[in-house]
A and B are shown apart, each in its own frame.
Chain A
Amino acid sequence: MSEAFINGRAIIPLESETILEAAKRLSVEIPTICHSDRLHAEGGCRICLVECEGEAHPMAACHSEIRPGMIIHTNTEKIETLRAQLHELYDHHRESSTPCSSAAQETHPYLSLDLTACINCRLCLNACEQIQGQFVFSISGRGSAKTISIGDMDTFADSPCVACGACADICPTDAIIDRDTLNNGDHQKAVTSTCGYCGVGCQIEVEVDVDANDVMSIKGVSDAAVNKGHLCAKGRFSHSYLKSGDRLTHPLIKSLDGSFKEASWGEALELITTTLGDTAKKYGPSSVGAFTSSRTTNEACYLLQKYFRSILLSNNVDCCARVCHSSTALALQLVTGTGAASSSYQDIEASSCILVAGANPTEAHPIVGARIKQQVLGGTPLIVVDPRKIELTEYADVHLQLTPGTNVALFNGLAKILYDRGDIDEPYLLERIENYEEFKVFIDTISLAEIVETTGVDLESMHKAASLISSTEGVGTLFVHGLGLSELEQGTASVMTLCNLGMLTGSIGKPGSGMLPLRGQNNVQGSADMGSMPDQFTGYQSVADPSARERVQKIWGSLPPEEPGLTIPEMIDAAADGSIRGLWIQGEDIAQSDPNESHVRAALEALDFLVVQEIFFSETCHFANVILPSASYLEQEGTFTNGERRIQHVQPAVTPPGESLPDWLVVRDAANLAGAEWRYQHPAEVMDEIARIAPHLFGGVSYSRLKKDGLQWPCPSVNSPGTSTVHSSSFLRGKGSLTTIDYAPSSEHHVSGYPYLLITGRILHHYNVGTMTRRSGQSSLTSRDFLEINPEDAKRENIRDGDIINIQSRWGQIAVPIKHSARTAPNTLFLSFHFPETHTNQLTGPALDPMSKCPQYKATAVKLLV
């Protein structure tokens, strides 16, 4: 017999299924207290006990396996009596006991703790361990005296807590509660949307007070593929910026005296379209350009690049992917045929080995970081390649702590070790990869002794790493990487040599392995996809490609030239020298975030005409002629594409303040004022056009198909479910290509008089230029950028923790407070760029990857003026 029975109803048990799971399939409700579907069974409250005929004792449904032949009853009189008695026992205990720390905690910006309400269900502890992986909670005491304890000092602030909110979300009482829930009543509506912070693209449920037009709180969508109900402190809690008093609410036009005056949309758009049109006519289309925003929707990016290409006939369109993962996109496009991740986040849970290079996901992509951490805690080997001892190194099997900017040397060294040991997937290489013969010749010329010298990594560690990434019996390794590879003069080369390892180990095109670059912004993948590239239309079609031009011509009615336009760094140079006169910068604060700040400011100053489309008056706004107020991601509709090529729906939860408008609408109205006849009434129609412009990638994408979990491109037809693993049968370019390229030190290496290499980057608490996070509770957690220095270096230089120190590069000088940090290697420094007053990018310079034009943020020669 294959059936079991629950309350008389038959069910065929699945493999390793619990009674509770089987009951759920039958819609039979069994009460629980300490149980959550997102966690392993705890088995402590015993409320889920059921009777099973033939068993001496009742069985806990949450952790007892259901087997064929079992006859189970979930609410007999005996069970009901036992449950009632248990509740009575628990109530009696709570009424009669006084916990040790009875003072409620009010010190954290987001989380409130009141142990008098705790029922010791351990959901918080288990969520913290099994979802986030922070291990903040512990249990003190034995038996009835046990209590939940937090960190060392019983406060969230002094513990490893990252304020992800998973505990507050899952706590069934008021013991742990987040302030959004504490301060608000019942919400009137809930809107499902996509988070607008980082490129992970978590699905959020936004609870709204419609009358007050207020976001009350944000929760994770529990069955979303990307985040399964989990969120980070930014996505969950940092939304108070929406109501910040300094939101831009009206279009602003700069008057002759330099002050900004409010204007109507009609006036502002008239000025913009006329000025840009006149400039293009007088000085040529190459005298104007646009930076589309990697934080706004696909539809807005598509329309802005369409405006410049089809109306002004200029290919000068670019986006901040340029200064971030442009090396990655170029490298992947050249060697695989797609400039995006070959894998998806679900490959983390399917992986047999993970290598993280130049990325710090537990700080910059928290949900992906948590998923990697859980997989590694479960036994999957981890190799970390990073100049810093990032959090993941505590969980890693080997940390290759290399000198900044020497990735190419390290990856060539690992390739040589793999090849010499025969630890390569020979059948895969012969069948699917080209240039293998040349590569073998090249490998022979590599000297491991030189690699050790260049990178500072010892041979034994390299061997260990090589043996781990290759020992996965046909499954391959998941290569996760970040800006530590891309933002270098050898950025493209770094990613190409990492891809070499992907190919040598047979990793690309299989589930559980492949290339997974962690895209930064919430829609940087999308804005690049939309054609915010000087040399490519939407869908990465070359502007010179005849069949692409034919299709675009049919749909747009006009075409830009075949020559590519300029990239962002080139546009800035051109602005500085006067060949670019007009720019439209949508949602990007280049005066704070682009390298070589003095140069950027001078370039912006030199422009004849600058349009800035923003939610706050940013550093870049100072230089604008027209400022257009934008709706934020919680206030407009459209789509974002995350780092795993997943196009997801964005829906407005509240209406934008004042006169501010969704970005796509502003561009449409500007275009129509300029004489185009853009009839889109809704962003869905823009997506329909995107699907027609680039059918090979987006042909099957439409809003009606974007329910639950969206679609991962390539999605070429309406029958396609999207693509999780790319290049699975063959590479999109046919065969994958191995690259032979030598390490070369950058222009910032070995600069006499500047002994330190500065790495710029991000910290957990803030996001990019901090426009949103500085205006939220995050500020109370961290309120400045700190220069992190190795404690031995600090000792030698006589610099104490907290001292304000002048730091100088060949490009500029700033003063910053110091933080001693053991995670920083000797002779390197780390500085974040979240606060405008730091002027971090005064230090970074003009060093660029010649192929991708990506700036070298990750290695700048500096000295400390002590």
Chain B
Amino acid sequence: MSIQCLAPTPVTTRRILTDKAGKPATPSYLGLHLALQSSPQQIIETITASGLRGRGGAAFPTGKKWQACAGTTSDQRYIIANGNEGDAGSYIDRVLLERDPHSVIEGILIGAYAIGASKGVIYIRSEYPTATSVMKTAIEAARDAGHFNANDFSCEISVVQGAGSFVCGEETALINAIEGLRGEVRLRPPYPTESGLFGKPTAVDNIETLCNIPFIIEHSANQYKRMGTSTSAGTKTLCFNHGFVRPGIVEVEFGTPLQTAIDAAGGSKSPLAAILLGGPMGCVIPPDQWDTPVCYEAMQARGYDLGHGSIIALPKSADKAALLRHWLSFMADESCGKCEPCSLGSKRSCQIINEPWNADSQKQLNDLLHLIGQTSLCAFGREIPRAVSQYLDIFHDEIFTPKSS
């Protein structure tokens, strides 16, 4: 697996790049110690000034989230690292957890200090057992080195393992899972920053987001902001699947065209119909749009969603109908059950495409996808139908033209 950085200064890959042997080096936690010399409010201001946004897909400004959490009155707050990376083809967080656990820990500790949390939880999906054991070892090392109790600031971090649910990457479902409840989405408001884990103010941050934190503290918000675009500051780590010549992660400055990253991955092994960006809730980008800059706003302007940044090659020769069936059955399997349009609608959509296809079926399916997207409770139910509709727009001829079996 290749690890590359195209950005002027590596942020998330800085320690992984230098580590040729593949074993994570134990860093000095300079960022934490610098942070502890400022006040928590100053840290929040630095992160806000840096323009850092959540990397998990929602792209919410991290400083704003931490400010909301810090501004509550509570005897207890929590910070949670979301390692439930469930998007198909996404393994960015896995690499970071396995290869640079200390950046994650350091990011958590700085965040805990900023928001006034004395407890951190790293939630790692059950399908990443190596990441879990590497993280546990790193936590022991960090504790032994005194980082959980430095400068009068105490924070304990524990690891909680997921149990095979995509939806538990959604922050309220994740919190439910940690509490031992059903992994279902909660109504918002209240938002987790106000009432989250065990009813206490909680900041839930993606693994990649947290890995950006130590760099920003060490090097300054301005230096971070110098990279990227005016709306998307810093760098983004993308990952490429085995449909590319050099699968692996590529860190780019925001604003870099997709094509540049694709080229760094060696281009595709076979001619592509499109790339699937951002997993099942993401988007479908045909080759003539690969000049799109990697940037939240620029992509949205073209109707695309960066998501968490996973890139899957969709060869021209791929069975488009099979992918559609897989996509919808994924939705039906992973739907949590909290709301009816998504749980029943996803099952119904599978029925429609598995039944004999007739003149009405396409309209039925489109109407159903529209219904689910408009009426569902959470982003899962809203975004998957949108992505599938985008896919159908491009490939409906190929999918629905009767073939000889």
Contacts and interface: CB of A to CB of B under 8 A. Distances in A.
A379 B334 CA distance: 33
Interface in A580-626: none
B239 interface: no
B34 interface: no
A60 to B, nearest CB: 7
A166 B343 CA distance: 27
A52 to B, nearest CB: 13
B337 A89 contact: no
Chain B facing A: main interface SS: helix
A57 B386 CA distance: 13
Contact of A139 (B182, B334, B344, B368): B182
A120 interface: yes
Interface string A31-43: 0000000000101
A54 interface: no
Interface residues of A, number: 27
A89 B336 contact: no
Contact of B340 (A65, A82, A89): A89
Nearest to B185: A43
B340 A45 contact: yes
A231 B187 CA distance: 29
Contact of A144 (B335, B367, B368): B335
Nearest to A45: B340
Contacts of A142: 165, 333-337
Given A45-B340, A90-B344, A92-B348, A57 B335 contact: no
B326 to A, nearest CB: 16
B341 interface: yes
A430 interface: no
A107 interface: no
A44 B374 contact: no
B377 interface: yes
Contacts, number: 78
Contacts of A144: 332, 335, 337, 343-344, 346-347
Interface in A14-68: 41, 43-46, 49, 57-58, 60, 63, 65
B335 A86 contact: no
A60 B337 CA distance: 17
B347 to A, nearest CB: 4
A90 B340 contact: yes
Nearest to B164: A142
A726 B293 CA distance: 72
A199 B79 CA distance: 48
A57 B348 contact: no
A93 interface: yes
B382 interface: yes
A46 B375 contact: yes
A682 interface: no
Contact of B338 (A41, A44, A57, A93): A44
Given A144-B332, A146-B343, A93 B348 contact: yes
A85 interface: yes
B264 interface: no
Interface in A833-859: none
Contacts of A145: 337
B402 interface: no
A41 to B, nearest CB: 6
A43 B337 contact: no
B371 A86 contact: yes
A46 B382 contact: no
Contacts of A120: 340
Interface string A83-97: 001100110110000
Interface string B346-360: 111000000000000
Nearest to A78: B374
Contacts of A46: 339-341, 375-377
A379 B338 CA distance: 26
Contact of B375 (A58, A146, A379): A58
Nearest to B167: A142
A58 B374 contact: yes
A342 B189 CA distance: 38
Contacts of B347: 93, 143-144
A89 B371 contact: yes
A146 B337 contact: yes
A141 interface: yes
A143 B337 contact: yes
A399 to B, nearest CB: 23
Contacts of A92: 348
A43 B339 contact: yes
Contact of A82 (B336, B346, B348, B371): B371
Contacts of A49: 374-375
B280 interface: no
A45 B343 CA distance: 11
Nearest to A42: B187
Contacts of A82: 371, 374-375
Q: Which 6 A-B pairs have the closest CB atoms?
A: A143-B335, A144-B347, A146-B337, A46-B375, A143-B343, A93-B344
Given A144-B347, A145-B337, 11 more contacts: A43-B339, A43-B377, A46-B375, A46-B376, A57-B374, A85-B367, A86-B340, A86-B341, A89-B340, A89-B341, A120-B340
